[in-house]
Amino acid sequence: MNTRKGSISVKTNDIFPIIKKWLYSEHDIFIRELVSNACDAITKRATIARSQGYEIPEGKVKVEVDKANKTIIISDNGIGMTDSEVEKYIAQLAFSGAEEFVQKMKDMGNTTAKDEIIGKFGLGFYSAFMVAEKVEVESLSMTPGSVATKWTCLGDTDYEFSDSTKSETGTTIKLYISADSEDFLDTWKLKETLTHYCDFMPYPVGVLDLSQADASEEIINETTPLWKKDPTVLTDEDYKEFYRKKFPMDQEPLFWLHLNVDHPFTLQGVLFFPKLNANKPVQENGIKLYCKQVFVSDSVKNVVPDFLGLLKGAIDSTDIPLNVSRSALQGDPNIKKISNYIIKKVAESLKKLFNTDRERYEKAWEDIGLFVKYGCMQDTKFDEIMRKYVLFKNSDSKLVTLEEYQASIPETYKEKLKEKYVYFEKNQSDESLRKQLLSEGIHVIETDQYIDPHFMQHAEMSKQGEQSFKFSAIDSEIENILETMTTTADDIKVKDFFKHVLVGENKDLEAKLDVDVKNLKNASSSAYFKVDENMKRFQQMTKSMGNSAFSMPIKKTLVVNPSNTLIKNALKIWEKGEKKELAEKICHHVQDLASLSSEGLSSEDKEKFVTRSQALVQELSQYIV
Ligand code: ADP
Ligand code: MG
């Protein structure tokens, strides 16, 4: 067999326009690239000067905008380049002087340079051509005896060198802004872009508007971000101030955590728990991602899990690639590690707050409760730490953990309620049942109809340690707890009577309603509605997922209390047979009262209830007059 090998050839003048157009999705990124190159140049000069033991001027980046001449000039007092260096680093695509410098430093025994130098790919400089039709680089190298040089390129593969009059060490890059990018010549827009990408660059970045004669330079960045500072010397006020600056529209944050890790990856950051604003939807891009103080992205979707999306702040890691495309973040193995670390840290800081400042934790619960429960459901590691610190309101409106709830159960009921959690659905469960339980010293935990059904389901399905959970609605569990007397033959009469009146031979009603009798200790009400726990859960799930097509009516049982006086009297009236109609009215009334105490009445039933109430009261008044 004949084989023939070859290699794909790439002609630069073909590929160049593609790079210009597709390398970065956002054109404004040229600012980030050129300013970070300037910072790298300053770091390099400083590193060399330090190793050779001499003084150099403070590093400084200047961005000058000249609207009249349509130019933006970015200059630094960094290492500078000779003409052969410009030829090598600038004119050679995808050749990174940064990589080379880091390697050289490493060979000389300096291992920190890799954490300080931003550049990596050797492509950043070309982003200049996304906005400029012509670029001039003037540079004077720090190497003694160097001659200044000027490189000019019109955005194609040809360039030209000429003499330069530059007298200070460093590099000046002049962009002749093309017609379709003129909005960057607007000082406001330029400042906004600079603040967006360079707000924490390591050297002061000054902006100057050359079109205004008396304009003064404005420094747009903070060279030492909060997260790079030693947390032990920072005060609460420092964090709050940082937050106010970055999120001026927000209320004061609830609390925060300072991230700082060196191994197995490097990461620093500050994350804030914002006070949620009920009138404002949760803003998703609260966390900004940095790499060596250079803004990378405000989409942390791939770095932190969904449930942490409500946090705000900044994460800085040399291991988050300063990537050419955002989607490339997804496949990065470091990202998973970083994500796990953050989840763990967040959970631990919540745990710590619970243990050291329960009051503050409880105050914040209103804002973070949903997030914590959701987090437990989304992430096993988070769940492992946080399940213990999930709070619920008890019958005294106190916030308790599930453990505390269990511990609060009176001794006599401990066996009956072992690993069981009786819940009271806000606006759904019967308040009188809660009172009945409380008179026995038994609390319930209050649940909502949004996250709690899911959380309960989750907690039941996945054990946490040895502890298992079984949640049971008050209106399905109460009879198991409070039933004391056994059902008598008279009780059965009550049941038959109610069933006859309320259901009768009606097949439709039979499918929806059943009647039972129970003698409950302390029963203060005449009747309540019992629902099957499994059916209830199913209904909750479909409801909370907004799936109304599934929400079929569930069969309910009206549990009548035969020792209640009204019930006893109703049966007597019925058995006498003279005023059967009144007895029937009472049955319906008892049913409606049970509905009113729980889910409420439909508008049709409400009308019947009102008419019947009037009739009953009128009849009653006749006996007295
Ligand atoms: P990278 O920064 O990833 O190395 P760039 O395309 O941004 O790639 O820059 C290529 C190289 O050009 C840099 O590594 C550096 O050696 C050189 N360079 C760019 N800008 C400057 C500057 N302002 N001062 C000195 N050298 C620079
Ligand atoms: Mg670069």
> Rounded distance, CA 392 to CA 446, Å?
6
Which atom of ligand 1 is nearest to 79's Cα?
25
What is the whole-number distance in angstroms between the Cα of residue 36 and the centre of ligand 2? 6
* Tens digit of each residue's pLDDT (9 = 90 or more) over 343-393: 999 999 999 999 999 999 999 998 899 889 999 999 999 999 999 999 999
* 42 Cβ inside 6 Å of ligand 1: no
Task: State how far the Cα of 540 lies from the Cα of 108, in Å rounded to an integer.
Answer: 67
Q: Which of 96, 127, 149 to mutate to test the pocket of ligand 1 (most atoms within 8 A of CB)?
A: 96
Segment of 359-373, 463-477, 514-528 carrying the highest mean pLDDT? 359-373
SS3 state at 14: helix
Weakest-pLDDT range from 233-242, 311-320, 330-339, 607-616 = 330-339
Q: Cβ(305) to ligand 1 under 6 A? A: no
In the chain, CATH 3.30.230.80 covers: 226-356
Ligand 1 contacts CB of residue 134 (under 6 A) = no
Nearest residue (by CA) to ligand 1, atom 16, is 97
CA distance linking residue 190 with residue 454, whole number of Å: 47
Distances (CA, A) of 183 to 64, 196, 197, 216, 218: 15, 16, 17, 21, 20
Task: List Cβ neighbours of 597 (8 Å cut-off, separation of 6 or more).
Answer: 430, 431, 432, 525, 528
Give the DSSP per-residue string, 173-209.
EEEEE-GGGGGGGSHHHHHHHHHHHHTT-SS-EEEEE
Q: What is the pLDDT of residues 580-593, one digit of tens each?
A: 999 999 999 999 99
pLDDT in tens, 302-313: 678 888 888 999
Is 203 a pocket residue for ligand 1 (Cβ < 6 Å)? no
Ligand 1 centre to CA of 40 (Å) is 8
Ligand nearest, relative to CA of residue 42 = 1
Nearest to 251 by CA among 270, 278, 276: 276
Question: Who has greater pLDDT, 290 or 553?
Answer: 290
CB of residue 37 inside a 6 A radius of ligand 1: yes
CA of 93 to the centre of ligand 2 (A): 12
What's the DSSP call for residue 464? B
Residue 562, ligand 1, Cβ within 6 A: no
Q: Whose CA is nearest to atom 7 of ligand 1?
A: 124
The answer, yes or no, to whether any atom of ligand 1 lies below 6 A from the CB of 313, is no
119 lines ligand 1 (CB under 6 A): yes
87 φ/ψ angles, rounded to the nearest 5 degrees = -60, -40
Q: How far is the CA of 342 from the centre of ligand 2 (A)?
A: 28
Please indicate whether residue 121, judged by its CB atom, sits closer than 6 Å to ligand 1: yes
Average pLDDT taken over every residue of the chain: 88
pLDDT at 550: 56
Nearest alpha carbon to residue 514 among 533, 490, 495:
495
Q: How many other C-beta atoms lie within 10 A of the C-beta of residue 298?
A: 13
What are the angstrom distances between the C-alpha of 158 and each of 89, 97, 322, 455?
15, 21, 29, 64
Q: Is the CB of 77 under 6 A from ligand 1?
A: no
* Distances from the Cα of 169 to the Cα of 143, 183, 204, angstroms: 9, 31, 17
Summarize pLDDT for 275-316 with one digit per residue, the tens.
876 666 666 678 888 989 999 888 777 678 888 888 999 999
- Under the banding of pLDDT at 50, 70 and 90, the label for residue 524 is confident
For a substitution probing ligand 1, which of 32, 40, 127 has the most ligand atoms within 8 Å of its CB? Answer: 40
374 ligand 1 Cβ < 6 A: no
Which residues of the chain form CATH 3.40.50.11260? 391-476
Query: Which residue intervals of the chain bear CATH 3.30.565.10?
Result: 4-219
Which of 270, 209, 208, 217 lies closest to 245, judged by CA? 270
What is the distance of C-alpha 310 from the center of its chain?
3
Q: What is the pLDDT of residue 22?
A: 64
Q: What percentage of the chain has pLDDT greater than the value 70?
A: 91
Tell me which residue has its CA closest to atom 8 in ligand 1: 122
pLDDT at 563 over 90: no
Judge whether residue 109 has pLDDT over 50.
yes
> Mean pLDDT throughout 100-107?
84
Mutate to test the pocket of ligand 1, among 16, 19, 37 (most ligand atoms within 8 A of CB): 37
Nearest ligand for residue 294 CA: 2
CATH code given to domain 4-219: 3.30.565.10
Q: Is the bond into 264 cis (omega within 30 degrees of 0)?
A: yes
Concatenating the DSSP letter of every residue in 442-463 gives ---EEE-SSSHHHHHHHHHHS-
CA-closest residue to ligand 1 atom 23: 38
8-state DSSP, 79: S
Q: Which amino acid is at 436?
A: Q
With a 6 Å cutoff on the Cβ, whether 124 touches ligand 1 is yes
Q: Tell me, in angstroms, the distance from the centre of ligand 1 to residue 125's CA.
A: 7
In CATH, what number does 483-621 get?
Answer: 1.20.120.790
Distance 37 CA to ligand 1 centre (A): 5
Q: Locate the ligand 1 atom nearest the alpha carbon of residue 96 and give its number.
A: 4
Q: What class, spelled out in words, does domain 226-356 have in CATH?
A: alpha beta
What is the distance of C-alpha 498 from the center of its chain?
52
Nearest to 23 by CA among 152, 130, 154, 140: 130
pLDDT confidence bin for 324, thresholds 50/70/90: very low
Ligand at minimal distance from the CA of 43 is: 1
Tell me the average pLDDT across 451-455: 91
Euclidean distance between CA atoms 456 and 470, whole angstroms:
8
CB distance 30 to ligand 1 below 6 Å:
no
Q: Is 291 in the pocket of ligand 1 (CB under 6 A)?
A: no
pLDDT score for 312: 92
Ligand 1 contact, 81 CB (< 6 A): yes
Ligand 1 lined by 59 (C-beta under 6 Å):
no
Nearest to 396 by CA among 443, 348, 460, 447: 443
441: left (phi over 0), alpha (psi -120 to 50) or beta: left
Of the listed ligands, the closest to the CA of 102 is: 1
The stretch 53-61 carries a mean pLDDT of: 94
Ligand 1 midpoint to CA 299 (Å): 26
User: Six-digit token pair at 316?
Assistant: 């800085």
Q: Residue 547 pLDDT > 70, yes or no?
A: no
The boundaries of every CATH 1.20.120.790 domain in the chain are 483-621
Ligand 1 pocket: which of 77, 86, 89 to mutate (most atoms <8 Å of CB)?
A: 89
Strand partners, 420: 470
Atom of ligand 1 nearest to the CA of 90: 12
- What is the CA(113)–ligand 2 centre distance, in A? 15
CATH number 3.40.50.11260 is the correct assignment for the domain at 391-476: yes
Q: Give the count of beta carbons closer than 10 Å to the beta carbon of residue 344.
A: 15
Residue nearest to atom 15 of ligand 1 (CA): 97
- Nearest CA, atom 19, ligand 1: 37
pTM for the full model?
A: 0.81
For residue 264, the CA-to-ligand 2 centroid distance in Å is: 26
Give the closest ligand to the alpha carbon of residue 101.
1
The arithmetic mean of pLDDT across residues 505-519, rounded, is 90
* Angle formed by the axes of helices 452-461 and 533-544, nearest 10°: 120
Note whether 256 and 313 are within 8 A (CB): yes
In 3-state terms, what secondary structure has residue 381? helix
Cβ of 38 closer than 6 Å to ligand 1, yes or no, is: yes
Q: Residue 531's closest CA among 423, 604, 619, 616? A: 423
C-alpha to C-alpha distance for 304 and 343, rounded to whole angstroms: 8
Residue 610: predicted pLDDT: 94
Q: Does residue 400 surpass a pLDDT of 50?
A: yes
Which of 250-259, 550-559, 586-595 shows the lowest per-residue confidence on average (mean pLDDT)?
550-559
